[in-house]
């Protein structure tokens, strides 16, 4: 896995343009694909076509679809200023950020200080009331200390959210965690969070559920990247006012062939029109303090074999964003 941004187009050595779709068709027809270079003006670094493939992961019901893309060949780098230069984009994001959120470290790397954002995300519920700490005890941070409630100004908070959204969009555009993990340390108070415990793609929704569940009443914000499945809006006059955006679930096999685990992802918000602005099929990153619901087991008659029932065990994660910047279109 290289550190680069996944590209949708490139050109051959003679300057002829190719899209990922054209290259995939050539590949499917058994034609060899040309030697490719970056199509950004004056960059022209060597890149390669990676055809779509399916990954069979242990316990997954469906193989994980990895879509085709164009990426860097080994040891190739985009020039500074190329639109696919991930390092350059990271530098630009850090430059635009307020210094107390992304801190430059002595070794040239950077640190993202999630605690200020974390406090803002949990400070108030959407109703405008501060959430009651269970049992009347003071809220503690995931680092174990009593949370120092440093609540930033609206302007600063907006800047934190914009920086986070930009970083997550950059991560979603990259082939893997490699670049961000190498360049940016995530810190929550005294605790260091590895990227794999912060950013979860569809195939790891089960790990995200475990993490949120283990965080209990003191979770830290995480990002889930997935594809929008559908939307739900309450009927006019309904008691329950939230609209929902539902992501594609992850299905996991168990040792019992009649028992399937389903990891569901939903975003709840009163503004259904805003949620529908992320259309079905589109890629999205959802960031914030997720809630894990109680596990629900439901036996369902097998359509193919009515004498037979399958038990679906549902693990549900829900995000109720306080800020619209917590949802990021990743396409």
204 is a contact residue toward Zn ion (CB under 5 A): no
Q: Which two tokens stand for residue 160?
A: 């934190």
CB of 283 to Zn ion, least distance (A): 22
What number of other Cβ atoms are within 10 A of residue 263's Cβ?
22
**For residues 265 and 135, what is the distance between their CA atoms, to the nearest angstrom?**
28
**For residues 122 and 323, what is the distance between their CA atoms, to the nearest angstrom?**
11
Residues 207-266 that bind Zn ion (CB under 5 A): none
Q: Which of 40, 122, 252, 269 binds Zn ion (CB under 5 A)?
A: 40
Choose one: 62-70, 79-87, 282-290, 312-320; the region binding Zn ion (CB under 5 A). 79-87
Q: Which of 18, 49, 69, 84 binds Zn ion (CB under 5 A)?
A: 84
CB of 16 to Zn ion, least distance (A): 17
Q: Which two tokens stand for residue 268?
A: 């709840």
315 is a contact residue toward Zn ion (CB under 5 A): no
38 is a contact residue toward Zn ion (CB under 5 A): yes
CB of 42 to Zn ion, least distance (A): 9
**For residues 124 and 215, what is the distance between their CA atoms, to the nearest angstrom?**
19
Is 84 or 278 the residue whose CB approaches Zn ion more closely? 84
Closest CA to 268 of 253, 246, 238: 246
Beta strands in 158-282 (DSSP E): 184-188, 191-193, 199-201, 222-232, 243-247, 250-253, 259-269
Is 175 or 203 the residue whose CB approaches Zn ion more closely? 175
Is 82 or 317 the residue whose CB approaches Zn ion more closely? 82
Is 78 or 316 the residue whose CB approaches Zn ion more closely? 78
267 is a contact residue toward Zn ion (CB under 5 A): no
Choose one: 8-16, 41-49, 143-151, 213-221; the region binding Zn ion (CB under 5 A). 41-49
82 is a contact residue toward Zn ion (CB under 5 A): yes
Is 85 or 283 the residue whose CB approaches Zn ion more closely? 85
Cα distances (Å, whole numbers) of residue 201 to 59, 175, 185, 187, 310: 16, 12, 19, 21, 27
**For residues 150 and 140, what is the distance between their CA atoms, to the nearest angstrom?**
13
**For residues 119 and 189, what is the distance between their CA atoms, to the nearest angstrom?**
11
118 is a contact residue toward Zn ion (CB under 5 A): no
43 is a contact residue toward Zn ion (CB under 5 A): yes
CB of 14 to Zn ion, least distance (A): 18
CB of 38 to Zn ion, least distance (A): 3
Q: Which of 3, 6, 78, 118 binds Zn ion (CB under 5 A)?
A: 78
6 is a contact residue toward Zn ion (CB under 5 A): no
Is 78 or 269 the residue whose CB approaches Zn ion more closely? 78
Start-to-end CA distance of the chain, whole Å, equals 20
Under 8 Å between Cβ of 13 and 33: no
**For residues 48 and 72, what is the distance between their CA atoms, to the nearest angstrom?**
6
Choose one: 34-42, 182-190, 236-244, 295-303; the region binding Zn ion (CB under 5 A). 34-42
Under 8 Å between Cβ of 265 and 287: no
Q: E strand or H helix at 154, and its extent?
A: helix 154-173
Binding residues for Zn ion, per CB under 5 A? 38, 40, 43, 78, 82, 84
């Amino acid at each position: 896995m290289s550190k680069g941004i996944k590209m949708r187009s490139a050109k051959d050595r003679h300057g002829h343009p190719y899209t990922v779709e054209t290259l995939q068709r050539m590949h499917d027809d058994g034609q060899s694909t040309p030697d490719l270079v970056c199509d950004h003006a004056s960059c022209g670094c060597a890149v390669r076509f990676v055809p779509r493939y399916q990954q069979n992961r242990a316990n997954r019901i469906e193989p994980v679809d990895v879509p085709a893309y164009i990426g860097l060949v080994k040891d190739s780098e985009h020039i500074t200023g190329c639109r696919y230069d991930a390092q350059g984009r990271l530098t630009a994001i850090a430059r635009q950020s307020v210094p107390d959120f992304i801190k430059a470290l002595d070794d040239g790397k950077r640190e993202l200080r999630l605690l200020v954002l974390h406090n803002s995300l949990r400070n108030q519920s959407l109703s405008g009331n501060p959430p009651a700490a269970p049992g009347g005890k003071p809220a503690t941070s995931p680092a174990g200390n009593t949370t120092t409630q440093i609540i930033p100004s609206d302007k600063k908070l907006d800047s934190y959210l914009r920086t986070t959204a930009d970083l997550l969009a950059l991560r979603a555009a990259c082939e893997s965690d490699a670049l961000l993990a190498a360049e940016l340390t995530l810190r929550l108070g005294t605790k260091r969070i590895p990227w794999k415990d912060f950013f979860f793609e569809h195939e790891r929704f089960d790990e995200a559920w475990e993490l949120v569940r283990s965080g209990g009443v003191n979770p830290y914000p995480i990002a889930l990247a997935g594809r929008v499945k559908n939307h739900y809006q309450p009927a006019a006059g309904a008691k329950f006012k939230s609209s929902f955006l539902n992501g594609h679930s992850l299905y996991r096999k168990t040792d019992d062939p009649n028992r399937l685990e389903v990891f569901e992802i939903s975003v709840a918000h009163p503004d259904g029109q805003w949620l529908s602005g992320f259309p079905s099929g589109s890629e999205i990153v959802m960031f914030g303090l997720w809630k894990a619901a109680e596990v629900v087991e439901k036996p369902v008659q097998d359509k193919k074999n009515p004498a037979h029932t399958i038990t679906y065990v549902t693990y549900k994660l829900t995000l109720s964003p306080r800020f619209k910047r917590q949802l990021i279109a990743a396409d």
